[in-house]
Amino acid sequence: MSLHATIDRVTDRIRERSASTRAAYLAKIARAAEDGPRRAHLSCGNQAHAYAAMPDKADLAGTRKPNIGIVTAYNDMLSAHQPYEHYPDLIRRAAHAAGATAQVAGGVPAMCDGVTQGRAGMELSLFSRDVIALATGVAMSHDTFDAAVYLGICDKIVPGLIIGAATFGHVPAVFVPSGPMPSGLPNDEKAKVRQQFAAGEIGRDKLMAAEMASYHAPGTCTFYGTANTNQMLMEFMGLHLPGASFVNPGTPLREALTFEAVRRAAAITALGNSYLPAGEILDERAFVNGIVGLMATGGSTNLVIHLPAMARAAGVLLDLQDFHDLSETVPLMARVYPNGLADVNHFHAAGGLGFMIRELLAAGLLHEDVRTITGGDLNDYAREPRLRDGRIDWVDGATTTLNDKVLRPATTPFAATGGLAQLDGNLGVSVIKISAVAPERHVIEAPARVFSDQEAVKTAFRNGELNGDVVVVVRFQGPRANGMPELHSLTPILSVLQDRGQKVALVTDGRMSGASGKVPAAIHVTPEAASGGPIARLQDGDILRLDVPSGRLECLTEGFETRPAAHFDSSASSEGMGRELFRAFRENVTPASEGASVVV
């Protein structure tokens, strides 16, 4: 199938926009690779330090065996990352079996947004992505690795690791997932309990029981939030092994996939004949494929921030119009909570990413001719792994959906367009996730209630102040103000208002999580209020209009543009929970539309 005209046009636009930055990037990684494996150029003293604790130090010092660096985001507070505890031993065994060696190069931080939602610690969350990139740089700076395997899954971790891997783009990179936890309490039932608690209908004991039944085991949370969107991206962008994303932890297939990932890392170093540097995989076609996957699955709004930052690290320049145009072209093929009732285990069982990639390739909506860690093109990712006699065998994946309530063909999708849209107007530019929003709520016009923090919204709700149609504005939540926290803790109370029959919307320069659901929310408003953006001029009672069909976000009250902007008081968010350490980040961060980054 020939490439769809819009996919071709957007890719060409990105390629032209990125011509000079991409050329400079490729020249940089070529210079880094031209001397061959850098380990050979270390002094004897340098090498002795690097190998001192290794039982097979003679292999490292005296042979040309590949040495694989492990960059790990392991901790045992994140359920998704707890399985990584024993991966280094597994990776070392797999490396030895492949005629290589492996060392843990370094660890990177991995915070849990589920723990910090609505708390001061959430104000460090987005910036943790850049800290992860910096920590990856420190790990890789020892310059002793012929390839790297990256262990990370959740919200900021994969984007941070990608930025680091792209910076060391001359080094081959393989990303290794650990998989989702088994299905627990259905996500829609959990959401119902949260709303009942927010409305005062049940006590905290029942809320806690529901939460514990939902988040109950090692593995990634099963809703289709940012963590699972990240896993989809790694497969669509050719950095996972095919079919690896959603295999549960602790299974023989999961272990075999990890062994195979290490074997591939050893095979694609510059010491052999299949050298495949990470920077060559991460081109404009790979990022377009990733955005197509984001739209087709109804993925997390957080990736609208992360993908531009990830791409910039590889010399590729994305903008919001690219996301908008691709969303207008790519059909929504999946219904996974919060866009439906199923979880990612149900999605995987219905045919999963292999079926989706097969369908999108057949429709001309993906670049087929990309480089991937398999050594082949994207057709490899329409296949799925089977375990035979302890070894991985890839077979053709599903050619028809096994559950059309969860996964549909590109020709008969759930919606003709993707899950995200761009809004602009006299309030600035924003994005909205519409895949879970009912069509009758795609236009909301109502008076504004303006708040400067999410706790004030919760107080107004408890006091019965949000009784009519309302557009809740939460400003001074952008990256320069307080690090751009997620405001997902507002979802239950806004859902209660909507279920009462009120017209409700959210407008904010902050973020919602990948669990953004049925309440229309114009997020990432740029320019943000702390930079004097128009959202800083809003007052209670202003009439706001959020209009998805026309792509507009506007204040209809005359004269609002000439008002003075409200002043940002940073005293409440500048100290405590480590926030004082990130002052330099807040002062130097780029706008959300450019990736909200301080390192790229």
Specify whether 435 is located in the same domain as 387.
Answer: no
Within 10 A of 469 (CB to CB), how many other CB atoms are there? 15
Specify whether 357 is located in the same domain as 431.
Answer: no
- Residue at 207 is within a domain: no
Which residue type, as a one-letter code, is found at position 596?
A: A
Model pLDDT, residue 211: 85
SS (H, E, C) 478-527: CHHHHCCCECHHHHHHHHHHHHCCCCEEEEECCECCCCCCCCCEEEEEEC
What is the CATH classification number for the domain harbouring 519? 3.50.30.80
Specify whether 528 is located in the same domain as 381.
Answer: no
Model pLDDT, residue 449: 98
DSSP secondary structure, 367-426, as one string: -SS---TTSS-GGGGGEEEEEETTEEEEEE--SS-S-TTTB--TTS-SBSS-SEEEEEET
- Residue at 552 is within a domain: yes
Specify whether 374 is located in the same domain as 500.
Answer: no
| 285 φ/ψ angles, rounded to the nearest 5 degrees | -70, -40
The beta-carbon contacts of 407-412 under 8 Å, at least 24 apart in sequence, are 407/333, 407/334, 407/335, 407/347, 407/350, 407/351, 407/352, 407/355, 407/356, 408/333, 408/334, 409/333, 409/359, 410/296, 410/331, 410/333, 410/359, 410/360, 410/362, 410/363, 410/365, 411/359, 411/363
Model pLDDT, residue 147: 97
Model pLDDT, residue 44: 79
Query: What angle separates helix 284-297 from helix 5-17, to the nearest 10 degrees?
Result: 130
Please confirm whether the linkage preceding 109 is cis (ω < 30° from 0): no
Specify whether 105 is located in the same domain as 227.
Answer: yes
Specify whether 535 is located in the same domain as 389.
Answer: no
Q: Per-residue pLDDT for the chain (600 aa), expressed as one digit of tens each?
A: 799 999 999 999 999 999 999 999 999 999 999 876 666 677 778 877 778 788 776 667 666 789 999 999 999 999 999 999 999 999 999 999 999 999 999 999 999 988 888 889 999 999 999 999 999 999 999 999 999 999 999 999 999 999 999 999 999 999 999 999 999 888 778 888 888 887 889 888 888 888 888 888 999 999 898 999 999 999 999 999 999 999 999 999 999 999 999 999 999 999 999 999 999 999 999 999 999 999 999 999 999 999 999 999 999 999 999 999 999 999 999 999 888 889 999 999 999 999 999 999 999 999 999 999 999 999 999 999 999 988 899 999 999 999 999 999 999 999 999 878 899 999 999 999 888 889 999 999 999 999 999 999 999 999 999 999 999 999 999 999 999 999 988 988 999 999 999 999 999 999 986 556 789 999 999 999 999 999 999 999 999 999 999 999 999 999 999 999 999 988 888 899 999 999 999 999 999 999 999 999
Q: How many CA atoms lie within 13 A of 186 on its CB side?
A: 8
Q: How many domains is the chain partitioned into structurally?
A: 2
Specify whether 127 is located in the same domain as 275.
Answer: yes
Residue 34 has which token pair?
């031209």
The CA distances from residue 595 to 19, 166, 306, 536, 560, in Å, are 19, 15, 6, 21, 29
Alpha carbons 12 and 16: distance in angstroms, whole number: 6
Range of the domain at 557: 420-594
- Residue at 132 is within a domain: yes
Alpha carbons 324 and 417: distance in angstroms, whole number: 10
- Residue at 230 is within a domain: yes
353 in Cβ contact with 56 (< 8 Å): no
β partners of residue 231:
none
Specify whether 438 is located in the same domain as 571.
Answer: yes
Is 112 a known ligand-binding residue?
A: no
- Residue at 406 is within a domain: no
**Statement: the pTM of the whole predicted model exceeds 0.85:** yes
- Residue at 204 is within a domain: no
Specify whether 441 is located in the same domain as 367.
Answer: no
Alpha carbons 444 and 469: distance in angstroms, whole number: 9
Within 10 A of 51 (CB to CB), how many other CB atoms are there? 20
The CA distances from residue 364 to 226, 239, 353, 368, 410, in Å, are 26, 21, 16, 9, 10
Within 10 A of 5 (CB to CB), how many other CB atoms are there? 10
Rounded to a whole number of angstroms, the distance between the first and last alpha carbons of the chain is 36
State which H helix or E strand residue 561 sits in.
none
| 28 φ/ψ angles, rounded to the nearest 5 degrees | -65, -45
Q: Which of 344, 362, 396 is the last residue of a domain?
A: 396
The CA distances from residue 189 to 115, 299, 337, 487, 549, in Å, are 20, 21, 11, 21, 31
Alpha carbons 322 and 328: distance in angstroms, whole number: 10
Specify whether 105 is located in the same domain as 161.
Answer: yes
- For tokens 């909506």, what's the residue? 365
Is 221 a known ligand-binding residue?
A: yes
Its sign, for the CA torsion 348, 354, 360, 363, is negative
Longest dimension (CA), the chain: 77
Which positions ≥6 away from 390 have C-beta within 8 Å?
Answer: 252, 256
Alpha carbons 280 and 170: distance in angstroms, whole number: 8
Specify whether 431 is located in the same domain as 334.
Answer: no
- For tokens 């329409």, what's the residue? 382
- Residue at 212 is within a domain: no
Nearest in space to 337 (alpha carbons), one of 417, 246, 435: 435
- Residue at 600 is within a domain: no
Specify whether 157 is located in the same domain as 260.
Answer: yes
Alpha carbons 231 and 419: distance in angstroms, whole number: 17
∠ CA 359-373-64, rounded to 5°: 170
∠ CA 396-398-401, rounded to 5°: 170
The CA distances from residue 64 to 99, 100, 101, 272, in Å, are 10, 9, 10, 10
State which H helix or E strand residue 239 sits in.
none
Model pLDDT, residue 515: 55
Model pLDDT, residue 441: 96
